Amino acid sequence: MQVAVIGANGGIGRELVPRLLDAGHDPIGVIRDESQFDAVREHGGEPRFGDLKGEFAPALQGADAVVFTAGSGGGTGWDQTLMIDLWGARRSIDACVEHGIDRFVMISSYNAGDPMAGPEAIRPYLVAKRCADDYLDWSPLDATILRPTTLTSEEGTGRISATFEDRGEDGEEIPRADVAQTAVVCLENEVTVGETVRLFGGDTPIEKALSPDD
């Protein structure tokens, strides 16, 4: 499967591209800075230029699936949050619909389901994520929304705790590497289509955690 990773040079994107390659997929790294092309190649991806605030749809040419893991970053203003995390996500969804790319995995955020439950300082960010998630949920795409809790840079364990449809208790922080691996597993697991999944650190192998009926 050819998988376009939007935000391939971000914290999760850098973990995701090589894992897609290891799983037998053909990763495309969509980035907005051509100086990062070599970094994408080093991780095993085909770099393509795509600017979520400008022209990016050609970067998705030939893709069978998209993983959206782009973000404006904590050092930018709320204007960039709207343009990247909300409007950029919506434009990505629209591009997939237009070009017949059916599979979409959204890396969202914990508390996006209820932004008012999150810390006051980041509620605008959570609102942007929730609106993007809702737009994806209402689209005709085969979508999975992942809402990880606090992210760490620790080495991945291959084990998580996952709750579907906001059921269950809160859990531990999670390595970005395990979020990336969860996205890979989701692409190969039809059980996750149409689901919103909260992700935490845990002790259950990822494949089993995403198959709650087993």
| Domain edges within the chain | 2-209
Instruction: Give yes or no: 110 in active site.
Output: no
pLDDT given at position 165: 64
Give the integer Cα–Cα distance in Å for 119 and 131: 18
- Among 71, 125, 187, 198, the active-site one is 125
Name which of 167, 175, 170, 173 is nearest 196 in CA terms: 167
pLDDT given at position 75: 67
Extract the runs of DSSP E, i.e. beta strands, from the chain. Answer: 2-6, 26-31, 46-49, 65-68, 103-107, 142-148, 151-152, 159-164, 174-175, 195-201, 204-205
Query: Per-residue confidence of the chain (214 residues) as pLDDT tens digits?
Result: 999 999 999 999 999 999 999 999 999 999 988 899 999 999 999 999 999 999 888 999 999 999 999 987 766 788 889 999 999 999 999 999 999 999 999 999 999 999 998 889 899 999 999 999 999 999 999 999 999 999 999 999 999 999 886 555 667 999 999 999 999 999 989 999 999 999 999 999 999 999 866 5
Which tokens go with 170? 């809160």
pLDDT given at position 114: 92
2-209: CATH class? alpha beta
Contact status, residue 195 vs residue 210, Cβ threshold 8 Å: no
Strand partners, 68: 6, 106
pLDDT given at position 47: 96
Using DSSP's 3-state secondary structure scheme, residue 53 falls into coil
